[in-house]
Structure 1
Amino acid sequence: MQLTTRTRFGLAAGFVVLGAVASLLAAPELPAELVTSWDGTGEPNDTLPKTTALVFVPALSAAMIGLFAILPRIDPLGENVESFRRYYDWFVVVLSAYLFGVHAGIIAFNLGYEFEFILLVLAGVAALLYYTGILLGHAERNWFVGIRTPWTLSSDEVWERTHDLGGKLFKLSAVVTLAGLALGDAAIYVLTGAVLFTSATTLVYSYYCYRQLDDSSDVAAGMS
């Protein structure tokens, strides 16, 4: 049975509810200050007051869901979003699940459970990157979702070719990130390098495609 947009967004909202419930249940056992930030080596480097820390991620997740619900309605190319709406909606679910995982990890860490928090985050980011690759492979030209450069937004063909490559590179970045977990403290640098490479490559490729099409048009005009 095909799920509706309302149902998929309901699933995303369910992760917000789970986060809020986890906050309420854990609050009596938590200290007044919670560790909420870690450096690249996985060492805690910042804290927040308990109430702020327990509210922040569920509130952020709820705000993101609201934003993603609004974007297709205000996009001048909103009808294009409808053509890949299923993948768009599931991205919202995956993002909400990721934020819930981070929130649950923060609570568990501050309750005294010992684990490498940075590895939890990186594994979640890898899943998010992989689904981003799936989304990009189906995205049609719009103003809010996808690889938005002056050249992709100017041409459906440039958009399609860039997103075909971008989808593959984001999936590859996810695989590389997971493999990088075996490197321990260096894993964060593997993720950073993969994302920077993917971003730079798709940017340059979109310009290359645009220039290639523009040159082809000039040749065709000269022959007519």
Structure 2
Amino acid sequence: MSLRRSHLAGLALVALSAAMSALAVSEMPAEMATHWNAAGEIDGQTPKIVALALFPALSAGMLALFALLPRIDPLGENVAAFREQYDTFVVLLLAFLTYVHALVLAANAGYEFEMVQALAPAVGALYYYVGVLSAHAERNWFVGIRTPWTISDDEVWRRTHERAAPLFKLAGVVAAFGAVVPAYAELLLAAPVFAVALYSTVYSYVAYRNVST
């Protein structure tokens, strides 16, 4: 996906999110539910105008940020090597935010469903693509597994990301199962990706010690 196409897709998703808010404004309560706990119970509310503006503004901010990062990265030329995967990740992230926005609007409109269960497939898909991105990412300051050891050495970066990529994909598959086993959905969403992140951090240190000796 080219940069121009990713920008257009991102802008379309921002516009869709804003249109969803505009169409839903008359149906929303004055105080909208915006946060659910692990049991699926509402434990946070936000004034309607703020809540409706939140996701379009967040999506627009993320699109602008990810467009800027390769330009300010000291290793920005490396991003060009995996730009297709980078741009696709940005679009998928904005699609995820739009999906979450739709769920929040639906819940506040009176539709009944388990929020964490509904989120599980989308979170799983995002985790899985992080694995795809990790398999292609070259050393940079903003995207990937950025530890002191991966940032310091190309070989450590390569080894760590090769090891982590399939694990992130597996974490995505596990997270998606939260849709069919809602009692464990929160655990399936959080535990695998935390384990992968911890393992990757430790592995990057071990790889650095091996490379430097």
TM, length-normalised to structure 2: 0.97
Q: Percent identity?
A: 49
- Distance in 2 (CA, whole Å) between partners of 1:35 and 1:189 is 23
> How far apart in 1 are the matches of 2:133 and 2:64?
19
Partners in 2 of 1:130 and 1:42 — Cα distance? Answer: 24
| RMSD (Å) for aligned C-alpha atoms | 1.0
1:187 maps to which residue?
185
Is the radius of gyration larger for structure 1 or structure 2?
1
Structure 1 segments, 4+ long, off by >6 Å, are none
Unmatched segments (≥5 aa) in structure 1: 216-224
After TM superposition, the structure 1 = structure 2 runs for residues 92-103 of structure 1, keeping only pairs within 5 Å, are 92-103=90-101
Preserved CA contact (<8 Å) 1:9 1:92: no
**Whole-Å separation in 1 of the counterparts to 2:16 and 2:129:** 22
How far is the alpha carbon of 1:4 from its aligned partner? 2.4
Could you say which residue in structure 2 is the equivalent of 1:177? 175
- Is 2:67 the counterpart of 1:69? yes
1:220 equivalent in structure 2: none
Q: One-letter code of the match for 1:188?
A: E
Query: 1:158 aligns to what SS in structure 2?
Result: helix
1:46-195 paired onto structure 2 within 5 Å: 46-195=44-193
- Whole-Å separation in 1 of the counterparts to 2:189 and 2:20: 29
- Measure how far apart 1:41 and its partner are: 1.4
Deviation at 1:122, TM superposition (A): 2.2
Shift of 1:164: 0.8
Aligned residues: 213
Q: TM-score, normalization: structure 1?
A: 0.92
CA contact (8 A) 2:116 2:182 kept: no
